[in-house]
Structures are given as structure tokens and as C-alpha cells.
Structure 1
Amino acid sequence: MTRFGYTLMTEQSGPQDLVRYAVGAESAGFDFEVSSDHYFPWLDSMGHAPYAWAVLGAVAHATERVGLMTYVTCPTIRYHPAVVAQKAATLQLLADGRFILGLGSGENLNEHVVGQRWPSVDERHDMLTEAVEVIRELFTGDLVTFQGRHFRVDSATLWDLPDEPPEIAIAISGPTSVGRFAPLADHLITTEPDASLIERWNDTAGAPQIGRGAKAIGQIPICWDPDEQAAVERAHALFRWFGGGWSVNSDLPTTRSFAGATSYVRPEDVAQSIPCGPDLDAIVEKVAAFWQAGFTDIALVQVGDEGQDRFLQEAAEPLLKRLREAAPAS
């Protein structure tokens, strides 16, 4: 059964609003909620970047049923993996076992703030591999001393550890990262509805099988609004960076860089990739590409802080009903 999630977009809303939206999304019937983890928004017009882990802690107590997940955290530069392990274990306790730790190799936009250089993609993958090893060792509850190429851990242990540690999902972007991370993860994350990535994942030795316990978790922006033109304008103002793709978005360092890189993107260009307006069937048609590609879990991003309450109160329930009617039952 395809599961549908709601995105707590930290780049476009403040912390108190995000907690309120999380409660509203649970009430509307979403199955799970994912949170971005940014130090910067993508564009200045988005206007926010609260600390995702504090928000998720509040959401864990404000909700009862929905699964929670980082989408995604980078455990290599801004955060040491030992600290990520501690945060994830604590959140799993607060959420009563509802949390999945979503990890990725990060974006320069968020990691440059601690003043370290931005590594090449190959080195970032090496760092993420080592970080996953550290996190999993700490999840055992043992006293861990670790000496790797990129990270050291000195006599660390997690004092507050849940009975079941969080499962780990890892963001992948292509065949190379699939081969690297599929054997290390419990679940796959990617934002492109590419069936070949899932097929390659399932064909990788040692990988948990998607559709047989492992999840393929995707994400898609939408911009619902009763006024189609207003939706297009909002999507263009806030989400025109979306079409750049991972290879571009991971390397640009500042909001000014993203503004420059997207200065020639037109509203009509954005409307071609992001369903905008009141037509729920048009949204379902876009989302369908993910379950057709084999995704088990799909998180929606409602673009913009403005109108978020109205989306949850007026559109979310009928949209979820149509999505569940259209999606495969298994």
C-alpha cells in the first residue's frame, strides 16, 4: 500500500508554525511527515531555517500516529556522526519508535557555515560511508572507539537508547551512489521517479529489497491554491531552484548563488514541473509517476508558508482520498 507523507519545509516556515502544520497534517490523514534540515533557505524569499531537530522533538510530542523522518540530515561536516547518533536515538525515544533517520551527503549551502572546505562528491560519499558505520556502532549501546580516515570517536556510548534503534534511509542520486549505499541502508531516498534506481538497488548484493520490507521514499512539490495564477507566482518566487537538480543544488554555496542560477527561470517553466492551482487530478497525475516507478512512500511539499493552513484544512483530505484511490493497493 502506497503511503503518503507531508513535508515540514524548514526553509519556508518558522518553528511554531511547523509544529502546528504537523498536527494539522496528522489530522488530515497523512501517513508520515518528513523534515528538511537546513541552515539556509534555498532563496532569500523563503525566509526561514529553524533547527530541524528541535522542531522534530516538539512534533514528536504534539503528534501521536504519524511516522517522522529527517529528509535529510548530513552527518559529516556541520554535524559529527556521533552527535547525529545521539540526536536520532533521543528522537526515537520521544517519538515512541516512529522515527527514521534519513541521511545524505549534504549541500554546500548548509555545510559551508562551519568554515570547512566543500569536498568533492567522491570524498563526500567516503565520509557518509564512514559516518553510517559510526552511527550504527553507537546504536548498539556499546562503548565505541573509532579511528577512520575522516572521523574519530573516543570512548563514546549512548546513554539513552531506544529498544529498537531508528532505521536508516540514505539519499541516492544515481547508479554509483546506489551501489555504494544500498548495502548500508534500510531504505532508499531519492527525489526523481526513476524506476531504474529502484531496480538497481534491488539488484545490489546485500541491499534490503524495496517492496519486501524496505521503502523507496520520494518527494514531490505541489502548489495547491484556489487561484491558479497565484499558485504559479508563489511557486516561481519560492521554488524556481527546484529544477536545477542535485548535481547543481549540492554545490552552490549561498542563497545569492541560487538566485543568480535561477534568474532566467520563468513562471511558466516552474508550472511545467510543479502542479499549480486547484486541480487535484493534475496533482494526482504528477504524483503517480512515483508509484509507477515503484516508490512505496511519497512525501508532498506544499509550496509556501502562505496558504499552508488552508491547504491542510480544505485540500489535504480530498487529495489524499484521490491519491489512495489511484495508487496501487500493494
Structure 2
Amino acid sequence: MVGIGYTMMTEQAGPRQLVADVVRAEEVGFDFSVASDHYFPWLDEQGHASYVWSVLGAAAQATERIPLMTYVTCPTVRYHPAVVAQKAATVQLLSEGRFRLGLGSGENLNEHVVGGGWPPADVRQEMLDEAVGIIRALFGGGYVNHRGRHFQVESARLWDLPEQAPPIGIAVSGEQSCRLAGEHADLVIAVEPDRSLLDAFDRHGGAGKPRVGQLPVCYDPDREAAVTRAHEQFRWFGGGWKVNSELPGPASFAAASRFVTPQDVASAMPCGDDAAEFVDAVRAYAEAGFTEVALIQVGGASQQPFLDWAGKELLPALRAL
């Protein structure tokens, strides 16, 4: 059976609502949750970008069962990997072992804010590889010193370590990232039901490890309203990772998606309240080999109605997968 997750999308809701929503997601029966780590929203219409690590700490205290996960954190530019290790260890302690650390090579959208420039993709992968090694070393306990190509670590140690280190997931979009994930990750992360990514992950050592996908959806009893909202807030999504990782701000995403129509968005994600359409979209991930799929309900104000509907109709329908 495919695990069904709920996404705390920090770009479309404030921190208090994010916590309230994940509490409700736990109540209605979602299997796990993930949270985005953004400094900017993708589009101005989304309107939010709170500090996810504070949200995760609050969510860890407000919930009892539901696993938590970053989807994903970039441990290379805006954050130093030694600091990411400390954040993750702390959330693992607060959640009593319910946290997984999802990592990725990042987007210019969020990382440009520290003024360090935006490296090319191959350099970003090198940085992520080195960062994962530092995080693993700190999770292992004791003092860590590191003199690397991209990072320096001077006598760092995590003084509050959980008994079990957070499992590390790595987001993939091509052969290079699949190799990195297969060699170094406990699970793989992707945002499209592309079987070739999972096959590459397996070739590099990922066979048998969990694989987590993510799917945007837009529930609304009024399908036209759902399509309108999905287009307003999520029309950027179809640009593809090679484009989305490079654009520097919401204005760039608005310009890049100016010719995307509501019909284009509606054809790319389930919209409305037909549970069968949502199930078909998840089935594509299941058939590609994903073991877990996190749903993103588009629209901050629509979360609680979506969660109520999911508990009554969608999750029971998805259990058949």
C-alpha cells in the first residue's frame, strides 16, 4: 500500500495555520507529512514564506503520531551543513523520532538571499555531496573537523543527539543526483512519477529504499473555482526543474508562466471533488514505483475543507492502492 502524505506548504499559509493544518491531517488519517523550506513564495499570489524549522518544532509538539519531513532543505548556500545537522537533530528529539531530513541542491529563488551567488548545477551537486558527508559525521557524534572544497568545519559537535539519527532523503532530477542519492541517502525524493529516476537510484545502490513523491492537487466542490485557484497559485509548476531551480524571484516565475492557461494547469493536476481523478493521479506514482506520495492542496485558505473531504472520501479511496 502506498503511504499518503500531507504537505505543509510554507509558501501559501502562515506558520500558525501550517501547524493547525498538520494537526488536522493527523486526525483524519494521513500517513506522514512533509514541509517545504522556502525564503520566498514561487508567486506573489501565494503570499507566505515562514521559517520552516520553527514550524516543525511547533508541529512536533502539537502532533503525536504523524511523521515529519523537510521537502526539501538545501544545506549548501543559505544554510551551512553543520547548522542543518543541528536543526535536524533537534527536530528529531522534539518529535521523538518522527523526523526525516529531506535534502536537495536548492533553488536560486531561496538561496540568493545571502548574496553568495548561484553556482552551476554540477557544482551544486558537488556541494550537496560534501554537505551530506558533514551532516552524517555530526550525526555520528563527537567532534568534527572538515577541510573541503566547498565547506570548512572547525571542531563542531552536536551536544543534543537523538538515539536514532534522522534518515536522510535526497531529491533527484537526473543521473547525477540519482547517483548521489543511491550512494548516500536512506530514501529518494522526486516531484514527478518518472520511473527512470527510480531505476537510476536503484542502479547506484538505492534498491529497497523508500521513495517519496509529491503531487499537487486542488480540491473544491466547485471545479471551476479549483481550476482558477490552481492557475493563480501553481501555474509555475510546469516549468520543469532545470528552469525552476534557476529563476531568482516570484516576478521571474510570473513572467515565465504568463502564457500558461487554466486549462494547462487543470490537465496537469486533479481539480474539483472527483475522488477517482485524484486516485488516478496517485496511481501514476504507485505504478512508477513510489512507496509514498505527499499531496499538496493548492490554496492556503482551502486546507481544512480539503482535509475534511480527504478523511471522509479521498483517503479511503486511496487505501485500495
> Is the 1:290–1:298 Cα contact (8 Å) retained in structure 2?
yes
The one of 207, 210, 221 equivalent to 1:209 is 207
Match of 2:139 in 1: 139
Structure 1 counterpart of 2:72, which letter? V
Give, as a single letter, the amino acid of the residue that structure 2 aligns with 1:186: D
Query: Which residue of 309, 315, 318 corresponds with 2:313?
Result: 318
Would you say 1:92 and 2:70 are equivalent positions?
no
Task: Give secondary structure in 1 for the equivalent of 2:188.
Answer: strand
The correspondence of residues 4-83 of structure 1 with structure 2, limited to 5 A, is 4-83=4-83
Work out whether residues 29 and 317 of structure 1, in 8 Å CA contact, stay in contact via their aligned partners in 2: no
Identify unmatched segments of 5+ residues in structure 2. none
Q: Aligned partners of 1:261, 1:200: CA distance in 2, in Å?
A: 30
Separation of aligned partners in 2, 1:303 and 1:248: 21
Measured in 1, the distance between the counterparts of 2:196 and 2:87 equals 33
Letter in 1 for 2:17: D
Q: Which moved more, 1:25-34 or 1:171-180?
A: 171-180
1:71-117, Cα deviation, whole Å (9 max, x unpaired) = 00000000000000000000000010010000000000000001111
Name 2:276's counterpart in structure 1. 281
Question: Quick one: distance in 2 between partners of 1:317 and 1:246?
Answer: 34
1:228 aligned to 2:223?
Answer: yes
SS at match of 1:116: coil
- Partner Cα separation in structure 2 for residue 19 and residue 118 of structure 1: 32
Q: CA deviation at 1:317?
A: 3.5
Q: Deviations over 1:299-324 (max 9, x none)?
A: 00000012211111233431011011
**Equivalent-residue separation in structure 2 for 1:303 and 1:260 (angstroms):** 20
Inter-partner Cα distance in structure 2 for 1:313 and 1:323: 15
Contact 2:82 2:138 in 1 (8 A): yes
Q: What pairs up with 1:84-163 in 2 under 5 angstroms?
A: 84-163=84-163
**What is the root-mean-square deviation in Å for CA atoms of aligned residues?**
0.8
> Per the alignment, in what secondary structure is the counterpart of residue 73 of structure 1?
coil
Write the distance in 2 (CA, Å) between the matches of 1:102 and 1:317.
30
Out of 186-195 and 313-322, give the one that drifted further: 313-322
1:50 is matched by which residue type in structure 2? Answer: S
The residue type paired with residue 24 of structure 1 is R
Q: CA deviation at 1:177?
A: 1.6
SS at 1:100 equivalent: strand
Contact (CA 8 Å) 1:75, 1:131: kept in 2 or not? yes
Q: How far 1:267 sits from its partner (Å)?
A: 0.4
2:292 aligns with 297
Say which SS state the counterpart of residue 111 (structure 1) adopts: helix
Number of aligned pairs?
Answer: 321
Structure 2 CA distance for aligned equivalents of residues 94 and 305 of structure 1? 26
- Other structure's SS at 1:236 match: helix
Once the two structures are TM-superposed, the CA of residue 286 in structure 1 deviates from its matched residue by 1.0
Contact 1:129 1:181 in 2 (8 A): no
Query: C-alpha separation between the residues in 1 aligned to 2:222 and 2:237?
Result: 22
- Match status 1:177 vs 2:172: no
72-81 vs 188-197, greater mean Cα deviation: 188-197
Q: 1:201, 1:238 → 2: CA distance?
A: 31
Give 3-state SS (helix, strand or coil) of 2:201's partner.
helix
**TM-score, normalising length: structure 2:** 0.99
CA deviation after TM superposition for structure 1 residue 260, in Å: 0.3
Partner of 1:237 in structure 2?
232
> Match of 1:183, SS?
helix
One-letter code aligned to 1:311: F
Mapped pair 1:190 → 2:190: yes
Distance in 2 (CA, whole Å) between partners of 1:126 and 1:199 is: 22
Identity of aligned pairs, percent? 58
Q: Any runs of at least 4 consecutive aligned residues in structure 1 with deviations exceeding 4 A, and if so which?
A: none
Report the 3-state secondary structure (helix = DSSP H, G, I; strand = E; otherwise coil) of the residue aligned with 1:177. helix
Deviation at 1:175, TM superposition (A): 1.9
Q: Is the 8 A contact 2:181 2:206 kept in 1?
A: no
Moved more, 186-195 or 310-319: 310-319
> Contact 2:181/2:187 (CA < 8 Å) preserved in 1?
no
| 8 Å Cα contact 2:228-2:262 kept in structure 1 | yes
Contact 2:169 2:181 in 1 (8 A): no
Task: String of CA shifts for 1:11-54, please: whole Å, max 9, x gaps.
Answer: 00000000000100000100100000000000000000000000
Question: Displacement, 1:209?
Answer: 2.0
CA deviation vs aligned residue, 1:257-311 (integer Å, no higher than 9, x gap): 0000001111011000011101110111111100000000100000001221111
Q: Report if the CA contact (8 A) 1:12-1:305 is conserved.
A: yes
Letter in 1 for 2:7: T
Tell me the alpha carbon deviations over residues 219-271 of structure 1, each in whole angstroms, 9 at most, x when there is no partner: 00000100000000000000000101100000000100000000111101100
